[in-house]
């Protein structure tokens, strides 16, 4: 009956009909939400935008501007040199070594750190007695400040008084000076990096594992899947979003590594442990070449932005 009565109306009358009840309710609910959240946005959004602009946007723009000047950091930059700072970056062998070290750190993080974190998370994710204690033990290195961790490991690697010297003395071997050897210093740094940050990724994986419905694993077990098959066919696919997030944090953190390197080696010996950020600090800030350091910062910023957007497009396109 209603359809017949509507069909008899003129087009103008049909357009004048009120919207359906559900659509009207949606419009009212949208208006109510805007009315309820409007004061909150007006109160909190401008201060947040102001802080973000002052502490993030303005420094980025200033660094981009300073990168085109030969500037020591004092006074107003006046000596414009164009792209010369960017050209000088690629002439430094230390920059090539820093870039290579960052790639090595990323590779070790993805191939050693994340699998180890996932394996430990699988062992301590269950709600069994003592699991919380083991989680805290494995997470403690991440809680420790980076500078403090670097100083602790510098003492442990010390060839005169550290743990390495004591172990060598017990075994009757000559004391190793690992951090003073260009061939072994980076390996020692990689050990500290894996020890320091795997706990963070372990906690991410634990959160992801505890979000998996146990009924799915029980159903797979009833169907005859063994433990390895359940992990490969059920756990890993459901853990994929967490793994993607962990990979993103690992790569970005590897590119920005600084606090742990400085107390350990300060980029030495012979620039063998330089990273992009320590190269920026050592060859830019410490040598009073703020313009050159700004150019290195711009290069690092571009690398991070390209990776972030490229990774989001490839890994999170279905999210």
Q: How far apart are CA 266 and CA 278, in angstroms?
A: 7
Number of neighbouring beta carbons within 10 Å of residue 231: 16
pTM: predicted TM-score of the whole model, two decimal places: 0.84
Question: Are the CB atoms for 211 and 127 separated by under 8 Å?
Answer: no
Q: Which two tokens stand for residue 44?
A: 């909190």
Q: How far apart are CA 274 and CA 15, in angstroms?
A: 70
Q: How far apart are CA 295 and CA 65, in angstroms?
A: 9
Is the pLDDT reported for residue 125 higher than 90? no
Region 209-238: mean pLDDT is 89
Q: What ranges in 53-92 are assigned the alpha helix state H?
A: 58-66, 84-89
The whole-angstrom distance between residue 202's C-alpha and the CA centroid of its chain comes to: 14
Is the pLDDT reported for residue 20 higher than 70? no
Q: How far apart are CA 148 and CA 146, in angstroms?
A: 5
Give residue-wise pLDDT tens across range 256-282: 999 999 999 999 899 999 999 999 999
Question: Are the CB atoms for 6 and 14 separated by under 8 Å?
Answer: yes
At 175 the pLDDT is 83
- pLDDT grade, residue 75 (50/70/90)? confident
State the DSSP H helix or E strand holding residue 224, giving kind and residue range, or none if neither.
none
Q: Work out the end-to-end distance of the chain between its first and last CA atoms, rounded to an integer number of angstroms.
A: 45
At 24 the pLDDT is 53
At 291 the pLDDT is 94
Domains of the chain in start order, with CATH, are 86-315 (1.10.3720.10)
Region 123-141: mean pLDDT is 83
At 13 the pLDDT is 45
Is the pLDDT reported for residue 127 higher than 90? no
Give residue-wise pLDDT tens across range 234-252: 999 999 999 999 999 999 9
Q: How far apart are CA 155 and CA 162, in angstroms?
A: 5
At 155 the pLDDT is 92
- pLDDT grade, residue 318 (50/70/90)? low
At 35 the pLDDT is 65
At 95 the pLDDT is 95
Strand partners, 80: 69
Is the pLDDT reported for residue 15 higher than 60? no
At 206 the pLDDT is 92
* 173 to 158, 160, 168, 169: CA distances (angstroms): 15, 13, 5, 6
Give residue-wise pLDDT tens across range 148-180: 999 999 999 998 888 888 888 888 888 888 999
Is the pLDDT reported for residue 143 higher than 80? yes
Give residue-wise pLDDT tens across range 85-105: 999 999 999 999 999 999 999
- Taken in order 66, 71, 76, 81, the sign of the CA dihedral is negative
- Taken in order 87, 89, 94, 97, the sign of the CA dihedral is negative
At 32 the pLDDT is 65
Is the pLDDT reported for residue 300 higher than 90? yes
- pLDDT grade, residue 5 (50/70/90)? very low
Average per-residue pLDDT for the chain: 86
Is the pLDDT reported for residue 21 higher than 60? no
């Amino acid at each position: 009956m209603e359809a017949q009565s509507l069909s008899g109306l003129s087009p103008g009358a049909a357009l004048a009909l009120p919207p359906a009840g559900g659509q009207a309710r949606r419009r009212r609910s949208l208006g109510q939400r805007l009315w309820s959240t409007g004061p909150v946005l007006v109160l909190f959004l401008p201060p947040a935008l102001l802080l973000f602009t002052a502490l993030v946007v303005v420094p980025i723009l200033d660094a981009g501007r300073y990168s085109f000047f030969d500037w020591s950091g004092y006074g107003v930059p006046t000596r414009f040199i164009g792209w010369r700072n960017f050209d000088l970056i690629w002439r430094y062998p230390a920059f090539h070594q820093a870039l290579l070290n960052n790639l090595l750190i990323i590779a070790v993080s993805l191939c050693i750190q994340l699998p180890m974190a996932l394996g430990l998370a699988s062992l301590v994710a269950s709600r069994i007695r003592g699991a919380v204690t083991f989680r805290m033990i494995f997470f403690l290195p991440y809680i420790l400040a980076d500078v403090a961790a670097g100083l602790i490991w510098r003492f442990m690697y010390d060839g005169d008084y550290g743990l390495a010297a004591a172990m060598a003395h017990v075994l009757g071997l000559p004391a190793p000076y690992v951090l003073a050897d260009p061939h072994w210093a980076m390996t020692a740094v990689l050990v500290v990096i894996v020890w320091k940050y795997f706990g963070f990724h372990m906690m991410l994986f634990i959160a992801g594992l505890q979000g998996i419905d146990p009924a799915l694993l029980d159903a797979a077990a009833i169907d005859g899947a063994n433990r390895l098959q359940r992990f490969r066919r059920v756990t890993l696919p459901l853990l994929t979003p967490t793994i993607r997030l962990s990979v993103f944090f690992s790569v970005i953190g590897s590119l920005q590594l600084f606090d742990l390197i400085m107390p350990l080696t300060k980029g030495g010996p012979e620039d063998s442990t330089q990273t992009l950020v320590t190269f920026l600090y050592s060859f830019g800030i410490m040598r009073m070449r703020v313009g050159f350091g700004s150019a290195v910062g711009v290069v690092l910023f571009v690398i991070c932005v390209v990776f972030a957007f490229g990774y989001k497009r490839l890994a999170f396109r279905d999210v």
